[in-house]
């Protein structure tokens, strides 16, 4: 069915022989056969991603600049004859088998690996299935994206689950049909992952589904989701290095606290600039656009809006400034924050967002014009300093690893992903790559070179 290969649709293709007979796929299918005493009907592959620049700005409406990785999640899937979802993982010692009742999918804290499967399954059923009886599935999973590394293993799992669910309903009931539109399923997966409790943006799901081999993506979210291929410069390599500290962003309040602080900063900006049409909870992108102030000037404007003598604002400060009571403050801005919070760094968070958004624009422009790798490296270094000092989402181990990377020849290096642990991404001249790789391996949990990979694909096995 050649129409399934159009750029707008997720590819559904017969699995190539070289992939079918690869050691990893053969192990996964054997695991499936041993566990379920049957054969899987199809295989889903969804990549992880590295965000080259543009950290913590997708959920406030700004563009980001990621690329997909060769590391991925793969699932072998078929419909079963029970009312349950049966999950098994190739890494059985770390991720035990689990049976899920699709009529009672709970999302408890801290999240477990299978909760991300639940997100994708529930998202598809809620959106498309109109009260139809749930389908039982047999699923064998394997991932090469290190968990808690900031390389989006969780979103890859959510997306893979959504594709598995759609294909299962298609095969069993014809209720859902293929082809699967990339933009539609990306939007669904963005919303579905929020079942886990994290107010994440849409970068991870967008690059996982929309990526094309050989190109990074410049991804915009407003006024609508779009993704443009951008060629990366020649003469340099991108390296990903793990600092040795892992952090599950959904298991802490750090991430949602930053989201809340950005929304509160937007509210204060809107109040001080008397922006008409602002609604409580709107994003920083909204107030910047409504103010018609260029990104390059927002830093100076923030100094006029916020009290530079205040490192942080209290709840009582914000109640007074915004003219709302504390109950409304909690309901609109803090309902998704799992731990009590009484002080808010608004100027710092807003300054990071606006300056980081400007860096993303410049990074894309440099790649498409002069490809000045030294300027690209400077932008990455500026991004890391901003994440460390203004957004406070770094970690001493990340900072130390960035220092090592720069000392071993990287032009630029920065944390990637949510932060608070995980990985850095470094821009390294080709002529220094061998030494860089050798030296960084001494300080990293893992260190690898990566170019842009392809996005999600569904392989038919028979």
Which positions are annotated as active-site residues? Answer: 204
3-state helix, strand and coil shares in percent for the chain, rounded to the nearest 5: 45, 20, 35
Selection from 181, 182, 180, 179 nearest residue 212 by Cα:
182
**Residues constituting the chain:** 462
Alpha helices in 310-453 (DSSP H): 315-322, 326-333, 346-368, 373-389, 396-407, 433-440
Q: Report the distance separating Cα 421 and Cα 416, nearest Å.
A: 9
Contacts of residue 333, defined as CB under 8 A and 6 or more positions apart, other chains included, come to 260, 263, 264, 267, 280, 281
Q: How far is CA 408 from the centre of its chain?
A: 28
Q: Report the C-alpha gap between 365 and 38 in whole angstroms.
A: 52
H-helix or E-strand spanning residue 193:
helix 182-193
* Beta-strand relationship, 423-429 and 412-416: antiparallel
């Amino acid at each position: 069915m050649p129409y399934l290969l159009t750029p707008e649709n997720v590819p559904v293709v017969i699995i190539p022989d070289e992939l079918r007979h690869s050691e990893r796929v053969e192990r996964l299918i054997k695991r499936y056969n041993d566990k379920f005493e049957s054969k899987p009907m199809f295989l889903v592959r969804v990549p992880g991603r590295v965000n080259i620049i543009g950290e913590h700005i997708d959920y406030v409406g700004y563009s980001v600049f990621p690329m997909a990785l060769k590391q991925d999640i793969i699932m072998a899937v078929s419909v079963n004859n029970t009312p349950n979802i049966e999950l098994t993982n190739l890494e059985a010692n770390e991720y035990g088998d689990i049976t899920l009742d699709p009529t009672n999918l709970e999302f408890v804290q801290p999240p477990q690996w299978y909760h991300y499967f639940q997100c994708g399954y529930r998202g598809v059923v809620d959106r498309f299935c109109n009260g139809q009886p749930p389908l039982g599935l047999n699923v064998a999973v394997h991932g090469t994206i290190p968990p808690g590394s900031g390389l989006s293993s969780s979103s890859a799992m959510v997306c893979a689950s959504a594709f598995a669910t759609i294909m299962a309903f298609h095969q069993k009931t014809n209720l859902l049909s293929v082809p699967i539109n990339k933009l539609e399923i990306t939007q669904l997966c963005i919303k579905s992952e929020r079942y886990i409790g994290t107010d994440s943006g849409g970068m991870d799901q967008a690059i996982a589904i929309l990526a094309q081999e050989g190109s990074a993506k410049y991804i915009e979210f407003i006024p609508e989701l779009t993704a443009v291929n951008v060629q990366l410069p020649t003469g340099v390599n991108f390296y990903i290095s793990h600092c040795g500290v892992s952090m599950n962003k959904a298991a802490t309040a750090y991430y949602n606290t930053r989201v809340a602080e950005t929304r509160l900063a937007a509210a204060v900006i809107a109040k001080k600039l008397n922006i008409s049409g602002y609604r409580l909870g709107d994003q920083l992108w909204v107030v910047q656009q409504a103010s018609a102030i260029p990104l390059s000037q927002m830093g100076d404007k923030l100094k006029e809006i916020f009290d530079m003598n205040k490192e942080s604002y209290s709840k009582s400060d914000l109640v007074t400034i915004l003219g709302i009571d504390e109950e409304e403050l909690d309901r609109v801005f803090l309902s998704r924050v799992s731990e009590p919070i009484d002080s808010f760094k608004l100027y710092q968070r807003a300054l990071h967002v606006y300056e980081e958004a400007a860096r993303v624009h410049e990074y894309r422009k440099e790649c498409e014009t002069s490809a000045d790798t030294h300027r690209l490296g400077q932008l990455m270094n500026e991004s890391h300093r901003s994440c460390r000092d203004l957004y406070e989402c770094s970690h001493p181990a990340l900072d130390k690893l960035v220092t090592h990377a720069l000392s071993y020849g990287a032009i630029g290096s920065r944390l990637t992903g949510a932060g608070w642990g995980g990985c850095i991404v470094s821009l390294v001249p080709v002529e220094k790559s061998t030494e860089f790789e050798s030296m960084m391996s001494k300080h990293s949990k893992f260190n690898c070179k990566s170019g842009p990979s392809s996005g999600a694909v569904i392989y038919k096995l028979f």
